[in-house]
């Protein structure tokens, strides 16, 4: 198969399966606890049927970082995510990043209309939003109400309490304050990404980026969200085979069912016919441009 045989527009919508035992997205998980609480909501009640939304910001940064690493492994620099004139808290930080595999955001536009592949995907300046649309993930503890085809997940809202105690010996570990963080436990679902314009190198980079994140899931730098030193943010991820039909897609998330023979055939097709084409499109874009 060659790229010209592939109908690239059919890859506009893709899904990344995301599994994590614990995710702490700092303060930014939006819950719908009012929905099930009926006026007598108790934080610690395991029967709480609370769902919510994981905003796309953290997910986006996590994915972008994985993709940047792929580009850097090709020996090329990636677009820096921050503006060069931003007020960084640490002096010299930006320049240090530039030495470590980044070029100033948007500098790649000087030579190419669409910039580097990271810029092309994530955008940058004002009127250029980037070609990949990242959606939030809606999660629910009630599996039957999760629509994976709409980029949703099964997940259980938890509120974690931490007592911060005094370290001073005379205080006998007297509590100083209590902090609460929102978390999602046992997350399993689909993250929906769509491309405004689909280019073969985008699919190649997405596939390689997701694989990179999966194999580096315990690296501090590639965990997702907060609580990384406490077992949070370790994510199993994979690109769901874009060749699957809807019924096959549902099977992926069904613990009671395994792949059909047809799905196995599609996995082979994806790995041997499609992916190499997308990967060489990526190689060509990344390696032929300085
Ligand atoms: Zn760039």
Can you tell me the distance from the alpha carbon of 251 to that of 239, in angstroms, rounded to the nearest whole number? 15
Classify residue 244 by its DSSP letter. -
Count of CB atoms situated within 10 Å of the CB of 21 = 15
**According to the model, what pLDDT value does residue 64 have?**
96
Alpha-carbon span 140 to 137, nearest angstrom: 10
Distance 225 CA to ligand 1 centre (A): 25
CA distance 99 to 208: 24
Domain ranges (residues) in the chain: 3-287
**Residue 110 alpha carbon to ligand 1 centre in Å:** 10
- Contact between 110 and 119 under an 8 Å Cβ cutoff? The reply is no
Question: How far is the centre of ligand 1, averaged over its atoms, from the C-alpha of 53 (Å)?
Answer: 31
Is the separation of the CB atoms in 222 and 68 below 8 Å?
no
For the chain of 290 residues, list the mean pLDDT of each consecutive stretch of 10: 87 97 81 60 68 91 96 93 68 74 90 91 82 95 94 90 79 79 92 97 98 96 84 94 97 94 98 96 88
Q: What is the pLDDT of residue 217?
A: 95
Q: Strand pairing partners for 157?
A: 184
Can you tell me the distance from the alpha carbon of 166 to that of 136, in angstroms, rounded to the nearest whole number? 38
Q: How far is the CA of 201 from the centre of ligand 1 (A)?
A: 15
CA distance 212 to 206: 10
Q: Which residue has the tokens 């105690």?
A: 165
CA of 40 to the centre of ligand 1 (A): 51
| Residue 95 Cα to ligand 1 middle (Å) | 15
Query: How far away, in angstroms, is 116 Cα from ligand 1 center?
Result: 4
Q: Say what the pLDDT of residue 47 is.
A: 67
Q: From CA 199, how far away is CA 191, in angstroms rounded?
A: 20
pLDDT at 40: 63
């Amino acid at each position: 198969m060659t790229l010209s045989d592939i109908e690239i527009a059919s890859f506009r919508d893709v899904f990344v399966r995301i599994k994590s035992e614990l995710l702490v997205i700092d303060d930014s998980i939006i819950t719908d606890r009012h929905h099930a609480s009926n006026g007598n909501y108790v934080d610690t009640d395991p029967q709480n049927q609370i769902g919510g939304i994981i905003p796309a910001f953290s997910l986006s940064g996590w994915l972008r970082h994985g993709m940047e690493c792929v580009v850097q492994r090709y020996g090329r620099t990636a677009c820096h995510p921050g503006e060069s004139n931003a007020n960084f808290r640490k002096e010299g930080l930006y320049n240090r990043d530039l030495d470590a595999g980044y070029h100033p955001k948007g500098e790649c536009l000087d030579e190419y209309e669409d910039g580097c592949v990271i810029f092309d995907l994530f955008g940058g300046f004002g009127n250029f939003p980037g070609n990949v649309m990242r959606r939030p993930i809606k999660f629910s503890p009630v599996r039957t109400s999760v629509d994976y085809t709409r980029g949703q997940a099964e997940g259980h809202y938890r509120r974690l309490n931490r007592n911060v105690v005094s370290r001073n010996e005379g205080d006998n570990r007297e509590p100083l304050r209590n902090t609460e963080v929102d978390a999602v436990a046992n997350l399993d679902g689909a993250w929906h990404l769509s491309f405004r314009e689909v280019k073969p190198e985008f699919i190649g980079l997405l596939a390689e980026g997701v694989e990179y994140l999966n194999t580096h899931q315990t690296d501090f730098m590639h965990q997702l969200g907060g609580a990384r030193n406490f077992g949070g943010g370790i994510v199993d991820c994979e690109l769901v085979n874009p060749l699957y039909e809807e019924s096959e897609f549902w099977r992926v998330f069904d613990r009671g069912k395994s792949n059909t023979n047809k799905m196995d055939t599609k996995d082979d097709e994806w790995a041997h016919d499609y992916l190499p084409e997308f990967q060489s499109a990526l190689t060509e874009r990344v390696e032929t441009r300085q």
